[in-house]
Chains A and B, each alone.
Chain A
Amino acid sequence: MAILPVERRPLTLSERSYLPQIARGLKTTLKHIFAPNETMEYPEVQPEIPPGYRGVPTLVTDPHGREKCVSCQLCEFVCPPKAIRITPGSVPEGSGREHIEKAPEEFKIDMLRCIYCGLCQEVCPEEAIFLQNQFSLNGLTREEMVHDKKRLYELGGSLPDRHFKWDKKKAAAEHGNAH
């Protein structure tokens, strides 16, 4: 049974004349004329962004509006195209968050270098950097395309936090067990 003979029936006259097939084709295309368009008219209609989408990298604050980044520089080290530059600084005195010790003084992402790989988001121990939904980005100068800290927080906004890690640490330290 290796070879199955397929019956090849000769084409009928109507098939050889093409006409019934053309008529059927015309019927199909006529249906498409009255069908709704598939095209999304982009600038007016924005596409639906699926969860997990890797858009422009941003810095986020916690629900209380506090900076999450502790300037550990892991993202800077992991960044394959070396787009991230962090200038570490300290948390200002009197802010109630001195126990965190470090915060970025400046945080720059060169969007001309960024490849949207998402490794910075994966590596971040503080869940401070996220690639969010923005997919369209442009500028008129190279300088404009380097996002500084202010712009990164503007783009990021604040995201919900499940841990409030540093609040817990502070509470634990006040109860006498630092770690």
Chain B
Amino acid sequence: MIEFWLSLPPLLQATLKGLAVIAVIFPLAGAGSMAERKVSAWIQGRPGPNRAAIPWLVKIPFLGRALQRLGLFQLLADGLKFFFKEDPVPGHVNKFYFFLAPAVALIPALTTVVAVPFGAWLDGDTVVPIGLANVDLGLLAIFAVSSLGVYALILAGWASNSKYPFLGGVRASAQFISYELSMTISVLPVFLWVNSPGMRGSLSLARVVEFQSLPGFWGGAWFIFTMPVCALIFLIALFAETNRQPFDMPESEADLVGGFHTEYGAFKWAIFFVAEYAHMIVGSGIFTLLFLGGWNPLPWVSLADFSALIGIAGNPLVVGVVSIVIFLLKVLFLIFFFMWVRWTVPRFRYDQVMVLGWQKLLPLSIANLFFYLVVIALLQERL
């Protein structure tokens, strides 16, 4: 089996691995929409979608009923609906860009996964990250590609040739530029910490996790404990970058109907939707890797210690699965947190978003960077 896998040409291997990851992300993003509806329902004291059922599947004792109550069949029904419903194209749109926008939305959202390691296995004592590509470019590649996502919003807003989508697109561009700055600056201290002068520099996310699984008090602490302000700024900017409440400017259904996707329907709209959730998943993954210790089960308990503790250290496959499960659990919790915040906090006004981005977060992140510059310069040699 493994020999056969290794005998395949590398390009085919990479393609298959990429497809496997997309096959996980895509349904997960779809399930995100259902989770959103369920979480909103629970917060508002409703049961949420729980009626749709596949006749013979729902007859399975306990399981069928539980799936129905969780709204899983509703998810399938919604997906089917998006496939088969009529997809009208308004007469006044620029057709080429109108069709291009959903693709431009989905491609960066799924491409960013390439540089995100999502698990690890043990080769003897060394921890080898599992991911599509463990490149030194790491986070820089993710930032570069995910920023392209805003073009989809601008394109959609502009190609729709109508007022509300246009306003949504304009807001999207302004918001993305404002928050990208503080987001990038806020993660610099993390990389200052994991790189020291004289050694080979790297922006790899796997390296960041490696530094959160070192022995000792300071080595084992997740970066959310040692750099809480960085984590906070990154999280807030992440909300803005993924268009989540309270930074729901491009969509803001209360004042812009549907924002950039007002003129979209059926499958093209669904692609925007999936892209938004894929962004959320990847964003949560990056936050997990940077600040929540990646695949380490608990602070101060690294994956290697944990697998030695429960006695699976000798079995790389099991360790790999366990690490991916731990990572996914953290990501899912963060996605739940995104939804939890969405149904708690009202939307900011547009000028408040701009003030928060430029006058509060940006100076704060720069001050934070300088603080950690000094701290790291003074402390790193001694720890």
Contacts and interface: CB of A to CB of B under 8 A. Distances in A.
11 contacts: A22-B344, A22-B345, A25-B344, A29-B43, A29-B343, A33-B39, A36-B45, A37-B45, A38-B46, A39-B45, A39-B47
A138 interface: no
Q: On chain A, which size bracket covers the interface?
A: 10 to 19
A36 B45 CA distance: 7
A25 B345 contact: yes
A38 B46 CA distance: 6
A26 B44 CA distance: 13
A32 interface: yes
Nearest to A33: B42
A74 to B, nearest CB: 46
Contacts of A38: 45-46
A32 B345 contact: no
Interface in B40-63: 42-47
Contacts of A28: 344
A37 B42 CA distance: 7
A41 interface: yes
Most buried by A among B43, B340, B344: B344
A30 interface: yes
Interface string B18-51: 0000000000000000000001001111110000
Nearest to A34: B42
A33 B43 contact: yes
Contact of A26 (B42, B45, B47, B344): B344
Given A32-B44, A33-B43, A37-B47, 10 more contacts: A26-B340, A29-B43, A29-B340, A29-B344, A32-B45, A33-B42, A35-B45, A38-B45, A38-B46, A39-B47
A35 B44 CA distance: 10
Interface string B318-351: 0000000000000000000000110111000000
A32 B340 CA distance: 11
Contacts of A25: 344-345
Interface of B: 39, 42-47, 340-341, 343-345
Contact of B43 (A32, A36, A39, A41): A32
Nearest to A25: B344
B229 to A, nearest CB: 12
A134 to B, nearest CB: 24
Contacts of A41: 47
B51 to A, nearest CB: 9
Contact of A39 (B46, B340, B341, B344): B46
Contacts of B42: 32-33
Across the A-B interface, the 3 shortest Cβ-Cβ residue pairs:
A38-B45, A25-B344, A29-B344
Nearest to B348: A18
Interface in A9-63: 22, 25-26, 28-30, 32-33, 35-39, 41
Contacts of B39: 33
B379 to A, nearest CB: 27
B341 A26 contact: yes
A37 B43 CA distance: 9
A41 B340 CA distance: 24
A19 to B, nearest CB: 8
